[in-house]
Amino acid sequence: MPQAPTVALPKRLPLVVQPENRDESTAKDAKLINAYVEKNAAGDEMWIFKRPGLLQTGTTQAGNGYGVYNWLGDIYTIFGATMYKNGLALSGTLNTAGGVYRFSQSLGATPRLQFGNGAASYNYDASAGIVVINPLTTVTAGSFVVSVEYTILTVDTTNFTLIGASANTIGVVFTATGVGTGTGTATAPNNFPVTTVKGWAYLDGTTYVMNADASIRGCTALNDTTSWTDLLNRLTAQIEADGGVALTKQLVYVLALGQWSTEVFYDALNATASPLGPVQGAKINYGCANQDSLQELDGILFWAATNRSASAQILMLENLKPQIISTKPIERLLGEVSFAAGNVFSFTLKYEGHRFYGITLKAENVTLVYDLVDKLWAQWTDSAGNYWPIVSTTFNSSLGRILQHETNGKLYLMDAEYFTDDGAMITVDVYTPNFDGGVRRRKQLSMLEFIGDQTPGSTLQVRSNDWDYAASRWTNFRRVDLSLQKPILTNNGTFMRRAYHLRHQCNTRLRLQAIELQMDLGTL
């Protein structure tokens, strides 16, 4: 084939990519797996870094992971139906039906930890241990409130027929006409819902929860999350007629995330009923597709958002200002997702100047990770190429980042000094976009040079595809030694348009910038 003169300066093919899937599958087009991107200080160079690895900390526990939290310097974890404090089991059996727990904390004379998964909620302090927050309160005769509805729990010496009951029978429901006498007891609805959406909001001493009807309830006394008897301490998020999905806080505001809108409340210091009042004009026109997608990092909120006019997007909320951070390819993936309960979990991480939000879609077998510093997406996987099974994270000043596995009962530390995931290989995959050098002619590619760190023991496997990512058209992998000062591949054939797949499977660090292509241009 006739050749044009050899190009004096090689073409440089950047390796910094993010998902560019053309449809609802990740099988074609550019993507970055198990890595993240970092810009230099000047902003004129970008590098790919292998994501940090994992190292187990503590002992393996029994059961699925349902949450990890740092409270007052101690690490609390939930595995199966048991909560552990610094690895030691606490007394009590927890509900597991609601999945991953969300945590909060209150102050006062007895600081307490609150945690709930929607199906059940609990308080914990060192003296009382784990105590379920009950949607019913028990009242003894002599303390019944007139006009309040009760259910007889025990009769004992009380004649309930004198205060409105049809019979002195356990289980009879009556409306009290007097305070009663004797030792009988009855139950009355508490202000705490039977079931809640996930999330707590602590504001000015009051802890709030919300149910699926978007009814927000507050505890009765400041910093006392054991008392929820004030039935007036409630209000409904009703700027739109959508149900409640999740509750959270940003700045000094309580946020009620609904199905397709989010309402904002502030502490109005009301003397009666709920202390909260709506912030006029602060409506956010996005709701939440799944409560387990909601995360907070440095006061910034992230969640899978939706409204009446759009399929799911990833939203970032900073200072009450919403911003869609999902790209078109990411939204093509989200458009096919089931946001049913149990299919989604999420996490946040801070690492060496980077801040990550990750969302896992189990049925789709994918974990998508957004770096809000460099504003790029990637995919993270386990050693088998499946979704990254981390369901909860926290931070401890002595241990650093602590991550909880979904199913294997383990906690992990995360750092780039760990080259594997607790001994399992981390596979970094870089799929480049199709490249034609800006010319729709055949090109003779004499040499590829890989621009990256010179690292002993580090190798790349490299293959190419000239047929638009067709699965059967990938070449065999060729090996490149990254310990060399000039790592190259020669005799790379001819192509008109080509994509490359770079794979790194070594117990070393990895930092790559680009490939330089020494090409001759044909005349056709």
pLDDT in tens, 433-474: 999 988 888 999 999 999 999 999 999 999 999 999 999 999
Q: What is the pLDDT of residues 52-111, one digit of tens each?
A: 999 999 999 999 999 999 999 999 999 999 999 999 999 999 999 999 999 999 999 999
Question: In this model, does residue 4 exceed pLDDT 50?
Answer: no
What ranges do the domains of the chain cover?
11-17+432-521, 136-189
Residue 1 has pLDDT above 50, yes or no: no
Q: In this structure, how many other beta carbons lie within 10 angstroms of the beta carbon of residue 385?
A: 12
- Predicted local distance difference test score (pLDDT) of residue 8: 55
Indicate the pLDDT class of residue 192, thresholds 50, 70 and 90: very high
pLDDT mean across residues, the chain: 94
What pTM was computed for the model? 0.92
Q: Tell me what pLDDT residue 439 has.
A: 84
The 10 Å CB-count burial string (b at 16+, else e) for 422-452 is: beeebbbbbbbebbebeeeebbbbbebbbbb
Q: Is 78 exposed, middle or buried (0-12, 13-18, 19+ CB in 10 A)?
A: buried
| Three-state DSSP string of 376-439 | EEEECECCCCCECCEEEEEEECCCEEEEEECCCCCEEEEECCCCCECCECCCEEEECCCECCCC
At 437 the pLDDT is 83
Contact (CB, 8 A) for 341 and 379: no
What share of the chain in percent tops pLDDT 70? 98
Q: Give the pLDDT confidence of 339-387 residue by residue, as tens digits.
A: 999 999 999 999 999 999 999 999 999 999 999 999 999 999 999 999 9
Give residue 11's pLDDT band: very low, low, confident or very high (50, 70, 90). Answer: confident
- The string of pLDDT tens digits covering residues 257-291 is 999 999 999 999 999 999 999 999 899 999 999 99
